[in-house]
Structure 1
């Protein structure tokens, strides 16, 4: 029993040390969640506190909208979002890891969807076409971006006036960003606070790009 307790304590301590190192290192280099850890994003806990239906219900989506899913991973949100904006809407699934985009493309093929476009890019380094998107999503992604300020400025420019940015954070994601940090960064980029959902360990906060800038 003592050995089990000791091993558990060592494991927890190791995970905490790795998490703290990862949080600091990501400010200096691009260290997103690797593809082999994508199962962390798709499990009963995530479904309960930040499932795709829950997040998308907070976006007031409508057919014909154009959605930007930043750091889309394996497409957990991109695929159901694409289904909700049919028949004329589109989702751009953006990720900096080719392996993640390949998984999205596999799922698109299975679903026979034609309104999802994958984009290999890093949002803090690439400017998108301006005033294009109705909604932008960052689901457990903001803390993975080395230059969060630049990323939010690019998203701000890419959204249409009146467009919505939705940021979701969930513990125990090692890149978890506190609500105060999220709001400070978004408002510094020009966004206005709209709605807050959830609680401190799993929340979504929505921001609006003002009609008049």
Structure 2
């Protein structure tokens, strides 16, 4: 399926919202709202003029998300944020200085099929970790990744993948209080792993973790000063 152009995405988003009762009498015809597409960060921006006749609430944000998520599928897939994503706009009038932001992907997410992980890693751009065929995370911009799932859903497999990729371009340290899967992965990849001593004090383990984190923070500040 062919990809959608930025202008077509913008025009169709406007049409979806103009036809929707979500934002009351507001429309682009009366300059009630406007739409911008940030291609670099892959965000759809909905800019509602303020003061507004409708309350700009989290409920409205997610109602708009539902309309766009279905209306733009399958040429565009929206990534549902956990909370309302509101961004500031600079160089514009104060009435347009904020926007609802909706992350999107071109097309629909497709699973990766990796036959040779070592060969796959060589082909990747540094710091950009590919998670799906049309989706990656840029670790130079994202400081934290949380992995959550049911038992048997593949968390360990996914973490093994992440650790292998990260280890190809970064100094990795594993922290495993349970001394389980993460410890085994670290041994396999020859990554230093912090674990509690079998007969050690819990506070000793926490102190060693805090000391390691403090070293990392110092390194961050050192690099930041160079920038």
Give the TM-score category using the shorter length. under 0.3
- When Rg is computed on C-alpha atoms for both structures, the one with the higher figure is 2
TM-score by length of 1: 0.26
Larger relative strand fraction: 1
- The higher-RCO structure (CA 8 Å, 6+ apart) is 1
More helix by percentage: 1
